[in-house]
Structure 1
Amino acid sequence: MLKRINLEHILFLDIETVPEKERFELLDEEKKELWEQKSQYQRKDEYTPEEFYDRAGIWAEFGKIVCISVGYFNFRGDLRTFRTTSYYGDEAKLLKAFKNLLDTHFNAPKYLLCGHNAKEFDFPYIARRMIINRIELPYKLNLFGKKPWEVPHLDTMELWKFGDYKHFTSLKLLANILGIPSPKQDIDGSMVRQVYYEEKDIDRIVTYCELDVVTTAQVFLRLRGEELLHDEEIKKV
């Protein structure tokens, strides 16, 4: 079935998120209480709500998106390229720009969105943050009333599960076992908050996010049994 999908009809994506505020004490009192309730199960008694706040970026209700990177294949005869671009900075602006991309270029039924663990994280996170920012959901993220086979989403982690719903495999591990060269990354997901708030280096985050998009595309190619992208085929636009 994967072989039947036209690679040019897939938009690969990844997002990077951080806590809504730089520090716990910057939240108002009601939000602090709500954070304490929301995080209680995960942190148990090991951390105070304040100590656990570094991880707030994983929840759309307490975090925000600082970067959305996308990538797509383009074929001209025998020439194959994979083009990447990113939207970053002010959340409302980047969400509107991403929505415009979907509405303008990837709105037709033939187009699919693809990410790693995206059905559990990226897709719902983007949709929730759009609603919070009072942005109308684009067709590709509006799942209300859609039947499962009508949802235009692909997930490389789900494809790797082969029906095993208990299985979780990180993108880094999947790339390793599939023989995909590991991109040279100077940060990982646990460092994004620090790089954003303390180092204020959004360019490092963008680079990291785009490399994950490329790796997701490489995993998809490997799952299809196709040749991996070479460095010269990857273009930043």
Structure 2
Amino acid sequence: MHQPVLTPLFLALGLALGLGSAAQAGTHLDLDECEVHSDYGLRLKQGSVELQRKSGEPKVVRLADGRLWLDGVEQTLSAADEKRVREIEREVGAMMPEVQAIAEEGLDMALDALAHVARSLGDGDPALMKEINRARKDFGEAIDIRMRDGVLDDGLLERDIEALVERLTPQIAGKVASLAITAALSGDEATAKDFERRAEAMGKELEQVMEARGKALEARAEQLCGRIADIDAIENALEFRLADGKPLNLVRM
């Protein structure tokens, strides 16, 4: 009985963890027709775009009102580059609300997957459902506060998603495992088979629903490819060079 029960359980938890990872991948969008890489994490504040990375130079790049700072030192730009920097700022600002919406939908999918397992195999444990709903509320409020403050930090988003999924997964897995063991040891063959049937049905249903939502989410993400390509093209046109003669190269297609 273990294989039929645990397979859909791990499928659901895997979907939740995988979707959470996809939602947090703000600096690496890897799609069929669009592959974007950046060494930097993004922090969007009112009036400026700030990018940071853990190693390499420059570590901190700041763009604001057509001006450029590298590790706190303002750089001299040509008039043409000032215009390009403003264009990059404008494109990033216009793109980020949709990036945020995609991230929130990814997390919502992860929580829905966990809730589906809790309802189907965890007997809809009120405590589990309350915890999932609280997590959904907490995350939404945290994002709303940051957006009102004009700050969007994909590093904070990543940590939020990890914390929420890690907080919920052990509780749900423990509850389902306990019910599975109880059914297996009950001596009631009908009870054990019913739990097994529910597990198989839940796995198939969850996979179908999440696959459809995942494709819709991917389609939204792919629509960002054109805008990201525009940002990359503007950056590639910059005349500015680093001290070693290399281009800034904040994003790579």
TM-score normalised to structure 1 length: 0.28
Relative contact order higher in (CA < 8 Å, ≥ 6 apart): 2
Point out the structure with max Rg over C-alpha. 2
